[in-house]
Structure 1
Amino acid sequence: MVLSSAALFSQIKEEKLILDKKREPEVKKIEKKKTSVETIKNYPPEEKSQNPVQYQITNVPALSDFQTSTIQGEDITPKIEADQYQNYARFGMGNYGKVLLDGYATYQLNPQTEIGLDAHVLSTHGLKNEYPWNSRSSQADLSAFMNAYTNSGKINVTAGFGSQDYNYYGIYALEPAPDAVLKQQVQNFSLNGFYDHYSNKILNSAQVKTGILNDHFNAKESVASVKVNLSQHEMKFPLPDVTLNADLGVGFESVNSRFDLLEQHESNYFEGILEPKITFFRGKSYLMIGSGFSFLGAEQNNNLLTDRLKENKTYWFPKAEVLFASSPLANLYLGVDGGLQHNSYTEMLQRNPFLVSDQEVLPTETKYRLYFGIKGDVNEHVKYDVSAGFSEVRNIMFFKANGLFDHINTLNRSAYNYANTFSAVYDNGSVNEVKASVQYFPLQNLSLNAAMNYNFYRLDNQDKIYNIPEFNAEFGGQYRLLDQKLLLGFKAFFISERTTNSFSYTEDPIAGIFIPEENTAERLSGYADFNLSAEYKFHKNFSVFAIGNNLTNAQYQSYKGYKVLGAQVLAGVKVSF
């Protein structure tokens, strides 16, 4: 099994802009038939294409998904697949002071090796008409990579640097001066390596991921993981038409975090992982039985503790799945799994960039997750997947709004001390989930997709989970026309109401303090966000593009106090070479 790659920094899905720059085949939301194998260059070789590998998690892409600043829409510009030119440079401008610079270039060292660079810069002056203080943001990302295709396997190495520069502009409880300094800056470095062996004998795949983060307030974090999958596939079994696959995942993960503000939390986690499993196949049906063993060593400290807290603990998690492939129309499946998910400041910023630079970091333990579903191909034009599940979880992470960190009656405050930041909190409980997705291909040049998720949390110590919607859905599509010179894209997001806490303050001039009052059950309204894109190639080397985000001008908040940009239009030119 291979862990999937993710960008170190991102925002909630409906708020981010992702450039479509993956150079590796993408696995769709719904699996295509397992007999199909994507072919790129000389990968996979003939012996593997005849016995395609059934991956459970996507291949690591050669490039990261570049994210923008925290109040952008999503770049849904489609890629002209008929374009013979892989390298390009883009420049675009739009309202809210948006400026986009974007480029990608590769060089073929030899028929089996290529190197490349990917650069992206986006900036905006933010919501000047909504906030008198600074809501400007910018992001710069650079990635360098190498792909090599040897006789035995495929190698990818990717090094990345990213910098996000933005402001804690979501102030709702006080009225600071327009020139209040609200700056936050996050920088990250990453180095990832991936090896996929063409044969499934002994060594199947190996992956190394490392990352280093620091921010404007001197938070520091390092993350690392190594995962090796050993396997022996297509073994004979003494039953008619039954074959056996045996896999063993071995690896470790570490997360080391240190903060210099407030309580100055510090934590170090190291997890050793062992995941054996065997899978019995008969036709397209299978039965997988396995286990997950984890050894976790943890150290925690903050300036309120006199001694470091140390703990060593061993975990066992069930893993099993059965799929009944009665027909292409309906494949029933059910299973159980569990495991540790290492939360980190890096991962927290993916979900909420407006965190104060001092966080308690705890891993989330899914004791078990039971699930069942049905998926299939109605015909060659429609694919679907519907599932439901129930899980028992310890340390479910969500975000709670912070008030003032001191109540002194002054507006000369630090950037994070205006009741404008959030902190991770944890609770134990259960999760009920329902998921559904569908893909529809009515025409050769038209594809449509939809997905929805419903999650209901029942927590031990809190009535409602904060800042997580129970329901979210998305709809999208791409349409190619005019001999593939014109590409149109559409994507819409629907998010239900969310519960959050918030603060209000009154002045006590005699005592010289602010008196706080907390609302523990405020509701943030749900919203719909519609986005369109278009790209037209008027010359083999030149095209123009336009992106429209939040076109209904929905005035919603990503988190309490953080209004998003209204209707946005960005247009520019693209040069391919």
Structure 2
Amino acid sequence: MNRKIQILSILLLGVSQVAFSQIKEEKLILNKKREPEVKKIEKKKTSVETIKNYPPEEKSQNPVQYKITDVPAVSDFKTSTIQGEDVAPKFEGTAQNNYVQFGMGNYGKILGDANISKTLQNKLEVGGDFHFLSTQGLKKEYDWDSKQSSATIGAFVNSYGDKGKLNLNAEYGLNNYNYYGIYALQPSSDVDLKQTVNQFKVNGYYDFYSNEILNDIRVKSSFLKDHFDAQENQVSMLANLSKHAVEMGKSGITLNADLGIGLEAVKTDFAIRDRNSSNFFNTSLTPKVTFRKGDSYLMLGSAFSFLNAKNSNDLMAEQMKNNKTYWFPQAEFQFAAAKEFKFYGGVDGGLKINTYGDMLQENPFLVSDQYLKPTETKYHLYVGLRGDIDETIKYDVSAGYGKMRDIMFFKGNSIFDNGFTLNRSAYNFANTFSAVYDDGNVSDIKGSIQYFPLANLIIDGEVRFTKYDLKNYEDIYNVPLLNASIGAKYTMLDKKLLLGFKGIFASDRTTNSFAIEGIANPGMIYQSTENKNDKVGGYADLNLSAEYKFHKNFSIFALGNNLLSSKYQTYKGYKVLGAQILGGVKITF
């Protein structure tokens, strides 16, 4: 191995220690006989022919673990945008499915998780998964409670039959935290800011080995309830029909035909403030055909949505009902001049049902009373260039422009009543957010790259620029103009030592905020003044991890998060933890 390259690799690891334990790590295939997969470069699903590499007999000999959760080995505090994501690199090819790990760190952080599975007769695999994470929060930054904890427990079943594979999983999650981001008032230290979210999920997936007619079937369900009696039930089903690899004479062109049939139902009820209630039922059809020759292809299709929506709250005289049919264009082409240069472009669109559960994943500090509307992407045009250079560098660069209706983002709330008292509900300190909607256009430029300089070194990077031009709001709130990340993992000492880093960068964001003053007369009240052009600063979050295997069944790990101890905020008032060090042990069996 070239010594200069080794030295350069180690220097890169030292310089780029960025957000290591906070972005989802997707495994890469390093076998040079195969084209390496690319992290987050190709997200778009087309009807381009794919080869399903899991015939029944092969699956029975080498079953694949079905992950029901992303087990956060190095989760950040709840206030971080990167909380709950496992970015610690994994030992490739030597990892075992069954493990237990435990870790402790500063800020009172405790981590424990386990994954156990067993393959039974008749190609049946059963297993369970458990995860727990807690932290005491920012005691030196806030007088009141900012601790949080989360726990998930799940079970799964994998069955590999003669015609396809079946995956079933059930999971219960509990998130317990506080609305601690108070910046405009000064309550006492014993103020109750508690919020809890319980969610139970049941999912099923059947995938046929062939692409003949019925390709796969997916069913998902979710049941959510929070501390303020918000309730949301959601179920969705999707069936994909297909006929692939139809030869078009002797031209060398093959035809793929696909039809997706989907159903989605969401019912949400809130019990405080305006008592918003919503009920959505959406049916979707996505027919498409693809003509392919070699690596070049042309896909033509459409997407249809048939939405039935009902909304009500205490302010409405009667329930609002809406039945609407949507059509969206679907087309994509790729011209492969060479494997190094593949030009592509297309247009797409769609309808996204915004749910309370999805919103909480993005911003857990929402008031438990939201007006829910679907977001419509009327069209999104894009062009790009991607390629694989000598199976050492893989890249994708693209630019797009789209028109959207009811773009959803988060606006800060003021206090909900002007009474001159600090004896308030947990969400009534100008410390929560609500979803708002606006129509507009969006422009985006993004790029991803992966570099494999050595068999034991992977470097990846990603950057995205997104600009919104809204109809009513001058700026979109709490959305950065620029996001970027860089990461790497490096194995040493005969694959016994694994080093890694991941870094996340974001530009500042426009937000709204409130100044609140007490007025002595008349009646002793609070008066709020809104600043519609406040800023939440950008950040660089740098992270590092190391894991050493003493034995094939035993290893120790050390993780460092936010190593620059950046005092950034994800949302106004919500500071993240400073520099964090966590160490622990892991036993596999």
Q: TM-score, normalised by structure 2?
A: 0.90
Q: What do you get for the CA RMSD once the two structures are aligned?
A: 2.5
Q: Deviations over 1:95-144 (max 9, x none)?
A: 00000111110011126110111100000000000001000000000121
Counterpart check, 1:65 vs 2:70: yes
SS at match of 1:63: coil
Which of 99, 113, 119 is the equivalent residue of 2:110?
Answer: 99
Which of 140, 143, 149 is the equivalent residue of 2:151?
Answer: 140
Residue pairs, 1:3-18, within 5 angstroms: 17=22
SS at match of 2:316: coil
What is the deviation of 1:64? 2.1
Counterpart check, 1:545 vs 2:543: no
Which of 236, 245, 264 is the equivalent residue of 1:234?
Answer: 245
Q: Deviations over 1:32-68 (max 9, x none)?
A: 999887669845699xxxxxxxxxxxx9963122565
Residue pairs, 1:116-515, within 5 angstroms: 116-238=127-249, 240-511=251-522, 512-515=524-527
Deviates more, 1:289-298 or 1:75-84: 75-84
What is the deviation of 1:75? 4.1
Structure-2 change in CA distance of 1:576 and 1:548 (3 Å): same
Counterpart-to-counterpart distance in 2, 1:333 and 1:27: 16
What is the deviation of 1:510? 2.2
> Which runs of 5 or more residues in structure 2 are unaligned?
1-17, 30-35
SS at match of 1:110: coil
Q: Deviations over 1:467-519 (max 9, x none)?
A: 00010000011101111111111000000010000001111122210111110
> Which runs of 5 or more residues in structure 1 are unaligned?
1-12, 47-58
Q: Deviations over 1:342-372 (max 9, x none)?
A: 1110110111000000001100000011011
Counterpart-to-counterpart distance in 1, 2:316 and 2:65: 41
SS at match of 1:349: helix
Tell me the residue number matched to 1:526: 538
What is the deviation of 1:85? 3.1
What letter matches 1:193 in structure 2?
A: G
SS at match of 2:370: coil
Counterpart-to-counterpart distance in 2, 1:114 and 1:255: 32
Counterpart-to-counterpart distance in 2, 1:70 and 1:230: 40
Counterpart-to-counterpart distance in 2, 1:18 and 1:115: 28
Structure-2 change in CA distance of 1:559 and 1:529 (3 Å): same
Q: Deviations over 1:159-208 (max 9, x none)?
A: 11100000000000000000000000001000111111111101111100
Q: Deviations over 1:285-319 (max 9, x none)?
A: 11100011110000000000121111111111110
Q: TM-score, normalised by structure 1?
A: 0.92
Structure-2 change in CA distance of 1:98 and 1:42 (3 Å): farther
Counterpart check, 1:566 vs 2:578: yes
Which structure has the higher relative contact order (CA within 8 Å, separation 6+)?
2
What letter matches 1:225 in structure 2?
A: S
Counterpart-to-counterpart distance in 1, 2:569 and 2:186: 19
What is the deviation of 1:21? 10
SS at match of 2:546: strand
8 Å Cα contact 1:21-1:63 kept in structure 2: no
What letter matches 2:574 in structure 1?
A: Y
Identity of matched residues, %: 52
Deviates more, 1:566-575 or 1:538-547: 538-547
Counterpart-to-counterpart distance in 1, 2:572 and 2:416: 17
Total equivalences in the alignment: 553
Structure-2 change in CA distance of 1:428 and 1:84 (3 Å): closer
8 Å Cα contact 2:456-2:491 kept in structure 1: yes
Structure-2 change in CA distance of 1:82 and 1:199 (3 Å): closer
8 Å Cα contact 1:30-1:383 kept in structure 2: no
